[in-house]
Structure 1
Amino acid sequence: MTTRKTPTPELTLDPADWDSFRRLAHQMVDDMVEHLRTLHDQPAWQPMSGDVRHHLREPLPREGQGAEATYREFLEYVLPYSNGNRHPRFFGWVQGNGTPLGMMADMLAAGMNPHMAGFDQAPALVESQVLAWLTRLVGFPDSASGLLVLGGTMANVLGLAVARHARAGFDVREHGLQREGPRLVVYASTETHGWATKSVELLGLGRRSLRLIPVDAAFRMDLGALRQAIRADRREGLHPLCVIGTAGTVNTGATDDLPGLAALCQEEGLWFHIDGAFGALAAMSDALRPVVQGLEQADSLAFDLHKWMYQPFDVACVLVRDAAVHRAAFASSASYLATLERGVISGGLPFADRGIDLTRGFRALKVWMALKAHGVGLLAGLIEQNVEQARYLAERVSAHPELEFLAPVPLNIVCFRFKREGRDGDALNRVNQELLLRLQESGLAVPSSTVLGGRFALRCCFVNHRTRFEDIDALVEAVVRTGRRIVEEG
């Protein structure tokens, strides 16, 4: 007889005292709810002290200190020092802010901890339902295919990977790109997000295969220049593959002429992919849907749900019009993953066949709960509110003699700067850069920046359900006050 050798007592990561852990868990929930409730009274951002940096560079723990002591360290050294994106006066970049319900949904999802490749389980049905809802929201056909992924970059990469498979003219999965043949070419505007460069590198196309097309005065892709570039590449013996349109550019919030791009792609036989990272969900609003008209004509579409659906990081979506093409770009088989007629795996692994991940978390739960609990109407109203807030800031900038626009405001991004008579060029750029840093370091507000036509801009993006119009007033007053002070200091 074999004698079993096990530690005494046997090891586990479950609590030895469940009642004690329950009290700690309730305290965690209470603390986070209170933290979210009082966000407006907290700084939008604060620098970390040397003590915090030192503490978070400690040696690898060899012995555990217990959950309660570790949680106390989280409260002291971690919670107060995020980048501030959940704060009402965080206007930087295009970052989501999360919701209390989303926080709890992530807790529930982690508690269930299902493997989301597929399987015969309710969480897989939840994700399928969420994808069906999103498909209808953006006007894609019910037969379209989709997948929830980490973020907009991954969603866009997958969309471009499907384009490569569908339009390369040869079997990319079999032969790869290490073959004789014409170079594949992708077209995007100069305002397209940096994911496009990363994608052509990652997918083996190379940066030389990415054509950046100029934009017009409204920062929209120039269709005439695009057509000329495609025809020039064909004359050179190259193989045009895909056009990337944008619904809501990261710099100014511009949306390309999506119907025009769709028609051009149809005429030229190119794949039409849309990066709708935050702009696509303007389609939830009857009032704003015309701004992003043409989404429904894309071959593939990527968009984030942790931006204009306000969900906690991370969750994004890629949709592909042709489900068979989507599956053909990624599906594979292995004996240990074979589908059986009954049992746990009888549901198959459909999500594993739509991307590169096998193991995936239950991201769909927070989206499902948000749509069920809040409804599309409330979420659309919040998007409209954000756009109205951007317009309000634009009105404040337009009315103030010491502020000026640097770009149109087509949706929810405002680019402006502090100005002073007699100062321009590099001098004014330096004033506004210092102004931005002082605003952030003060903890009052967090705009970000960009450079438009050589001019340094304060850039405010409205994707925050917590922002109030009084926060915009406070921002404008702080910009003018701080700008004046910097000029006076010389």
Structure 2
Amino acid sequence: MHDVVDSLGRRFHATDAATSANDRSQLQAAVDAVDLDTPGVGNAEALREVDALYADNAVWFHHPSYVAHLNCPVAVPAVAAEAMLAAINTSVDTYDQSEVATLMERRLIDWTCGHLGFDGGDGIFTSGGTQSNLQALFLARENVMAGLVGDGGSDPATRPGATTRPDLLSRLRILATDQAHFSVSRAAFLLGLDAEAVVTVPTDTSGRMNAEALNATLLAIEANDQIPMAVVATAGTTDLGVIDPLEPIGEACAAANVWLHVDAAYGGGLLWAPARAHLLDGIGRATSVTIDFHKTFFQPVSSSALLIRDACLFAPTIHHHDYLNPEAEAQSHEAEPNQVDKSLQTTRRFDALKLWTTLRARGANEIGSMLDTVCDLAADVRQLLEGQADFEVLGASDLSTVLFRFTPATAGVEACDELVPMIRRVLFRSGRAAVARTTIDGRPWLKLTLLNPDTSIDDITAVLDLVRATGHGILAGRHITTEGGAA
């Protein structure tokens, strides 16, 4: 353990590039060259081997030229907690496997619910936002179906669910914008909903859900004899980094008696950000909320949570088994707090320990201030780009993403479109910088996702200079002209 820590310490100190710059074929050959069926080589040699194979070729999220995806540098206390929980190997599915670990996780859930305004709420830690969103929509489906066909009580064998009425299942609809995370559509598929189950709600010019259009969409769904299962609002869209107007959306959902799920995987950390907490006003109206602490709380993957406004809404997840959480014991006033009752997972890591340790070491306000710092940096970068003639910038983020394009006067619109994936690929393969790319309304854009509070405007200026130089190099090599297209 000490050897690994020392080696990593040296690497973090000396790393001078975001990626290894090794060709994928080289990496594949190095992986394939390891014979996994030979006798063991011993601890020291095995660790030296994985240091050379993995650590030497890792993507380094702490490096200032890594500005691609929603990957954050991690708080050191959380790394120490990670080693502790891995070594002890607690599973927090039942109390007799975890004891105080279950109590600590439940305390963190209560703490988070308190900040959301969920009095009497509950929650569970998950592997990530995709799982949190899936479980939220599963709970929405089951609770809505139970309300439609009658409540069968707490026994899973008698409780009505989606499979009992396929005619109703096919009518369920999820409302979300085209900026919602792809996990919403995936969840609809996994939950057996109709192919047209996800209904797109129009957005305003900034990419936020239009609350008036939501009201109209809800009315149209009911007029078509369909059933609004849930509305998914996004607090921090992946591409634009904007937050849907939660207060009016909450009012619309309350008036229509519709489950409101807020996907705050990206923006949930704003609850503790001194300068931006107000951007989440209205989140307390939600029925369920996703928060990824491994994004804006600087935690190692994985550390996500699903929070529910009313604890009783977790009932559809409950399944009793004699060897795990016997129903007879669950009825006792001394029942053990078995969290498998609320989780889609059985064996589950004590990931909450990382967040607990970080909170005690750094404090929630300091973590929130770090999030304000990266959001401030995004605003500064956007202002910088707007002042440069050979760059185009799109929109304004509530969080820390910046969408931009290299648009020199020597290249036409189509040529600039072609440059986006090429610039991203050349920079990544060179190891000099890692930027992302996406498409908005049919047009490709480069994307900066800023999640490192130690990154400066000078660091980002250096990345932009690399983008500019790479773009000019591609133009020179391919003879792309103002008319667009490659000669």
Q: Scaled by the length of structure 2, what TM-score is found?
A: 0.89
Q: How far does residue 29 in structure 1 lie from its aligned partner after superposition?
A: 1.5
- Give CA deviations for 1:337-379 in whole Å, capped at 9, x if unaligned: 338989xxx7624311112112111101111000000001210
- Of residues 473, 484, 487 in structure 1, which corresponds to 2:461? 473
Contact 2:274 2:369 in 1 (8 A): no
Quote the offset at 1:132 in angstroms: 2.0
Q: Report what 1:98 is aligned to.
A: 74
Residue pairs, 1:287-306, within 5 angstroms: 287-306=275-294
**Amino acid corresponding to residue 110 of structure 2 in structure 1:** A
Match of 2:83 among 84, 107, 119: 107
The aligned residue for residue 484 of structure 2 is none
Bigger Cα displacement from structure 2, 309-318 vs 451-460: 451-460
Matched, 1:181 2:167: yes
Amino acid at match of 1:53: Q
CA distance, structure 2, for counterparts of residue 392 and residue 110 of structure 1: 40
Q: What is the CA–CA distance in structure 2 between the aligned matches of 1:201 and 1:178, rounded to whole Å?
A: 18
The whole-number CA distance in structure 2 between the counterparts of 1:272 and 1:175 is 20
Tell whether 2:70 aligns with 1:83.
no
Alignment deviations for residues 406-436 of structure 1 (CA, whole Å, 9 cap, x no partner): 2223321110111122533321111222222
Is the aligned partner of 1:329 residue 2:316? yes
What's the offset of the Cα at 1:454?
A: 2.5
Tell me the residue number matched to 2:365.
Answer: 377
Which residue does the alignment assign to 2:43? Answer: 67
Secondary structure of the equivalent of 1:207?
coil
Q: Which amino acid aligns with 2:316?
A: A
SS at match of 1:336: coil
Give how far 1:180 is off: 4.8
- TM-score normalised by L of structure 1: 0.89
- Alignment of 1:259 onto 2:247: yes
- 1:9 corresponds to which residue? none
Which amino acid letter does the alignment assign opposite residue 263 of structure 2?
D
Report Cα offsets for 1:200-258 as digits up to 9, x if no partner: 01111133111022211100112233222222221221111110000000010011111
| Helix, strand or coil at the partner of 1:60 | coil
- 1:136-151 alignment runs, 5 A limit: 136-137=114-115, 139-151=116-128
* SS of corresponding position for 2:402: strand
2: distance between equivalents of 1:250 and 1:43? 21
Find the partner of 2:144 among 142, 145, 167: 167
Question: What one-letter code is carried by the residue in structure 2 that aligns with 1:334?
Answer: H
Call closer, same or farther: CA 1:458–1:445 in 2, change over 3 Å: same
Matched residues in 2 for 1:319 and 1:161: separation? 14
Number of residue pairs aligned between Structure 1 and Structure 2: 460
Supply the distance in 1 between the matched residues of 2:337 and 2:8 (Cα, whole angstroms).
Answer: 36
Q: Over the residues paired in the alignment, what is the CA RMSD in angstroms?
A: 2.1
Does the alignment pair 1:283 with 2:271? yes
Residues 115 and 362 in structure 1, CA contact (< 8 A), matched pair in contact too: yes
What is aligned with 2:27? 52
Aligned to 1:395: 383
Q: Distance in 2 between matches of 1:244 and 1:403?
A: 34
Contact 1:96 1:307 in 2 (8 A): yes
1:398 and 1:405 in contact (8 A); partners too: yes
How many angstroms apart in 2 are the aligned matches of 1:161 and 1:341?
A: 26
Q: What is the alpha-carbon distance in structure 2 between the residues aligned to residue 116 and residue 371 of structure 1?
A: 20
Q: Alpha carbons of 1:246 and 1:341: their partners in 2 closer, same or farther (altered >3 Å)?
A: closer
Judge conservation of contact 1:272–1:299 (CA < 8 Å) in 2. Answer: yes
Secondary structure of the 2:475 match is: helix
Identity %: 25
Q: Structure 1 296/66 Cα, relative in aligned 2: closer, same or farther at 3 Å? A: same
1:261, 1:135 → 2: CA distance?
Answer: 20
CA distance in 1, matches of 2:25, 2:427: 21
The CA distance in 1 between the partners of 2:367 and 2:209, in whole Å, is: 29
2:323 alignment partner AA: Y
Q: Pick from 135, 143, 157 the counterpart of residue 158 of structure 1.
A: 135
CA contact (8 A) 2:236 2:264 kept: yes
Distance 1:194 1:49, change over 3 A: closer
CA deviation map 1:155-186 (0-9, x unaligned): 11111111112222236954433525331111
Moved more, 208-217 or 92-101: 92-101
Work out the CA distance in 2 between the residues paired with 1:85 and 1:460: 13
- The separation in 1 between residues aligned to 2:292 and 2:4, in whole angstroms, is 28
Structure-2 residue corresponding to 1:234: 222
* Whole-angstrom CA distance in 2 between matches of 1:175 and 1:124: 29
For the 8 Å contact 2:19–2:57, the answer to whether it is kept is no
1:192 aligns with 2:192: no
Aligned match of 2:107 in 97, 108, 129? 129
Q: Which residue of 1 aligns with 2:482?
A: none
Name the CA shift for 1:72/1:334 in 2 (closer, same or farther; >3 Å).
same
Aligned counterpart, 1:316: 304
Contact 1:91-1:461 at 8 Å conserved across structures: yes
* 1:428 aligned residue: 416
State which drifts further: 163-172 or 77-86: 163-172
CA distance in 1, matches of 2:463, 2:164: 53
CA distance in 2, matches of 1:340, 1:165: 24
Structure 1: stretches of 5+ with no match in the other structure: 1-24
- Mapped to 1, the partners of 2:36 and 2:51 lie a distance apart of 20
Counterpart Cα distance in 2 of 1:291 and 1:386: 16
SS at match of 1:335: coil
Per the TM alignment, residue 388 of structure 1 is displaced from its structure 2 partner at its CA by: 0.9
Q: Which moved more, 1:178-187 or 1:125-134?
A: 178-187
Map 1:208-247; keep pairs closer than 5 Å. 208-247=196-235
Give the counterpart of 2:428 among 434, 440, 448.
440
Is this contact kept in 1: 2:142–2:161, CA < 8 A? Answer: no
SS in 2 for 1:456: strand
TM-aligned CA distance change 1:208 to 1:49, over 3 Å: closer
Residue in 2 aligned with 1:203?
191
Match of 1:330, as an amino acid? Answer: T
State the distance in 1 between where 2:166 and 2:445 align. Answer: 46
Deviates more, 1:178-187 or 1:45-54: 45-54
- State the distance in 2 between where 1:49 and 1:325 align: 47
Partners of 1:156 and 1:96 lie apart in 2 by 21
